[in-house]
Structure 1
Amino acid sequence: MNENVRLTAWVRGRVQGVGFRWWTRARALEIGGLAGYTSNLEDGRVQVVAEGPRDRCELLLEKLRTEGTPGRVDGVADLWGEPRGGYDGFAIR
């Protein structure tokens, strides 16, 4: 069963000021069926929150961890949970 989930990912490396949030939003829209946002954090990381079917969230997480992202990704921490809703599409904050 492919239940809806909430993925929160924190991406560290050189990921601010390089178009990483725009790239992440584009990947989420390509995958489809995801709602949430991506935002810069004060400590230099980018946070990604995505809700939708588990397999689509897993695909987004895989894309965050692969080569070809803008900048340089040194690591991605992830946390899975229940969806909370309230998102209209996939936003950049």
Structure 2
Amino acid sequence: MNVSYIAHISGRVQGVYFRASSQQQAIDYGLSGYARNLADGDVEVLLCGEEKNIERMLEWLAHGPEQAEVTSIQHKKIPWQDHPFFSIG
């Protein structure tokens, strides 16, 4: 079943290839959505696809790429969002 989640990731997550790495992971998991920097230094990630793959992606987001230092991740299920691919914003 396809679902959508929005995640808010805090820590050292900007300037460490977090968005590009998230895009590659999402593509590997067959997910669409986006990753974008927020003004407060955090990253927001929208994930759309099969729930089991979103769960795997959320586990990855909890640590992110090697250079990142994730201190917090908050996520919630939201109404379905139809995105044709995973973009970086």
Question: How do 1:40-79 residues align onto structure 2 when only pairs under 5 Å count?
Answer: 40-66=37-63, 68-79=65-76
TM-score, with structure 1 as normaliser? 0.88
User: 1:89 corresponds to which residue?
Assistant: 85
Q: What RMSD, in angstroms, separates the aligned Cα atoms of the two structures?
A: 1.3
Secondary structure of 2:34's aligned partner: strand
TM-score, with structure 2 as normaliser? 0.92
Count of aligned positions = 89
User: 1:13 corresponds to which residue?
Assistant: 11
Structure 1 letter corresponding to 2:38: L
Structure 2 letter corresponding to 1:7: Y
Q: Any conservation in 2 of the 1:20–1:69 contact (CA below 8 Å)?
A: no
CA shift at 1:80, angstroms? 0.6
| Structure 1: 5+ residue stretches without partners | none
Kindly indicate whether residue 24 of structure 2 is the aligned counterpart of residue 26 of structure 1. yes
Alignment partners' CA distance in 1, 2:48 and 2:64: 23
1:32-73 per-residue CA deviation (whole Å, 9 max, x = no partner) reads 2x1100000001100000111111111100111136543210
Structure 2 letter corresponding to 1:42: A
Could you tell me the percent identity over the aligned residues?
34
